[in-house]
């Protein structure tokens, strides 16, 4: 089969405009799917990077933001130690801002950070990548579950913070619940529970489709490790809750 001809400059510009019109999460998925071979084993690194990038968008616009302006990009790059002076920033933005719109999209940053070209992004890829794509999709699904749980927990903690600012029994109870949630968050128990649940469901799906004996052994091994991790985080959270209850009781006297 003859190789596909390289894309023209105009074709690349048109395709790039389509990608940069996507939100940050979808730009991240696009980048990972196109470079799935190179980033096998590093999916979570890039997914986490997209969350960090998104955190520099203005409050209230994080869900549909597509790019950062120069001030936001400056703060993002500075935080990552990737620009130290105004001159360095201008030079970095010159390299990153591929469509020259004075803003930086997430996929522009990925291409810059991982030293990939637009031609590489859009060139035809091998067709036998189904297994890697499936692993990537599973990583994306788990990442989204974790982020949804994190957003839910943050919203609940805001409610508890408002209640804890008052007085009386309700305020004392809210303080205990709030500190309990914070302890779980600090020990990673909340996110560990989400990941464990997701992996268990994935193992059960694989068991239904694959070799029952092999999949069952893998599932049992996974559950044993998760149980050990869960016990450790629960013990840490329990100790913290006892401290919080004692403190709340003392305040309520």
- Answer whether residue 2 is part of any domain: no
| pLDDT band at residue 234 under the 50/70/90 scheme | confident
Q: What is the C-alpha to C-alpha distance for residues 77 and 68, in angstroms, rounded to an integer?
A: 11
Highest mean pLDDT among 30-34, 138-142, 185-189, 227-231: 30-34
83 and 134 part of one domain:
no
Range 76-89 average pLDDT: 74
| pLDDT band at residue 209 under the 50/70/90 scheme | low
Q: Return the SS3 of 105.
A: strand
- Answer whether residue 3 is part of any domain: no
Radius of gyration of the chain (CA): 23
Chosen domain end from 122, 150, 181: 122
Q: Return the DSSP state at 253.
A: -
Q: Return the SS3 of 117.
A: coil
Count the domains in the chain. Answer: 2
81 and 171 part of one domain:
no
Measuring CA to CA, which residue among 139, 145, 141 is closest to residue 192? 145
Q: Does pLDDT of 106 surpass 70? A: yes
- Residue 250 has a pLDDT of 62
Chosen domain end from 122, 142, 169: 122
| 69-76 LR contacts (CB < 8 Å, sep 24+) | 69/102, 69/103, 70/102, 70/103, 70/104, 73/103, 73/104, 76/52
| pLDDT band at residue 14 under the 50/70/90 scheme | very high
- Residue 154 has a pLDDT of 86
Neighbours of 74 (CB within 10 A): 19
- Residue 38 has a pLDDT of 92
151 and 90 part of one domain:
no
Structural domain harbouring 179: 130-252
- Residue 122 has a pLDDT of 92
56 and 18 part of one domain:
yes
| pLDDT band at residue 1 under the 50/70/90 scheme | very low
- Residue 198 has a pLDDT of 64
* H-state helical runs in the chain: 9-20, 24-34, 43-54, 70-79, 86-96, 106-113, 118-122, 130-164, 168-187, 189-209, 212-252
Q: What is the C-alpha to C-alpha distance for residues 253 and 239, in angstroms, rounded to an integer?
A: 22
147 and 43 part of one domain:
no
169 and 101 part of one domain:
no
Range 60-71 average pLDDT: 75
- Answer whether residue 4 is part of any domain: no
22 and 66 part of one domain:
yes
- Answer whether residue 149 is part of any domain: yes
73 and 148 part of one domain:
no
**For 159-187, how does the pLDDT look when each residue is reduced to its tens digit (9 = 90+)?**
988 888 888 888 888 888 888 888 777 76
Q: Does pLDDT of 253 surpass 50? A: yes
Q: How far is CA 216 from the centre of its chain?
A: 29
- Residue 179 has a pLDDT of 85
- Answer whether residue 106 is part of any domain: yes
Are the beta carbons of 248 and 239 closer than 8 angstroms? Answer: no
CATH of the domain at 75: 1.10.238.10
235 and 139 part of one domain:
yes
- Answer whether residue 26 is part of any domain: yes
174 and 227 part of one domain:
yes
83 and 157 part of one domain:
no
Chosen domain end from 76, 104, 122: 122
15 and 106 part of one domain:
yes
Q: Does pLDDT of 9 surpass 50? A: yes
Q: Does pLDDT of 211 surpass 80? A: no
């Amino acid at each position: 089969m003859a190789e596909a001809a390289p894309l023209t400059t105009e074709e690349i510009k048109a395709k790039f405009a389509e990608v940069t019109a996507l939100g940050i999460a979808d730009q991240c998925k696009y980048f990972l799917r196109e470079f799935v071979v190179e980033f096998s084993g590093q999916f979570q690194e890039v997914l986490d990077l997209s969350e960090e990038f998104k955190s520099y968008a203005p409050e209230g616009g994080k869900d549909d933001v597509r790019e950062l302006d120069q001030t936001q990009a400056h703060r993002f790059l500075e935080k990552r130690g990737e620009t130290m002076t105004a001159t360095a920033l201008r030079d970095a933005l010159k390299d990153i801002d591929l469509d020259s719109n004075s803003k930086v999209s997430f996929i522009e940053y990925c291409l810059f950070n991982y030293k990939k070209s637009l031609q590489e992004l859009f060139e035809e890829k091998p067709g036998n990548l189904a297994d890697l794509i499936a692993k990537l999709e599973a990583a994306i699904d788990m990442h989204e579950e974790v982020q949804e749980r994190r957003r839910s927990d943050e919203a609940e903690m805001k409610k508890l913070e408002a209640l804890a600012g008052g007085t009386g029994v309700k305020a004392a109870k809210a303080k205990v619940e709030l500190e309990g949630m914070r302890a779980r968050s600090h020990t990673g128990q909340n996110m560990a529970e989400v990941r464990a649940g997701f992996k268990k469901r994935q193992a059960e799906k694989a068991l239904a489709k694959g070799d029952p004996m092999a999949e069952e052994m893998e599932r049992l091994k996974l559950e044993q490790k998760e149980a050990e991790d869960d016990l450790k985080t629960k013990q840490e959270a329990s100790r913290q809750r006892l401290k919080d209850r004692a403190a709340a009781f003392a305040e309520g006297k």
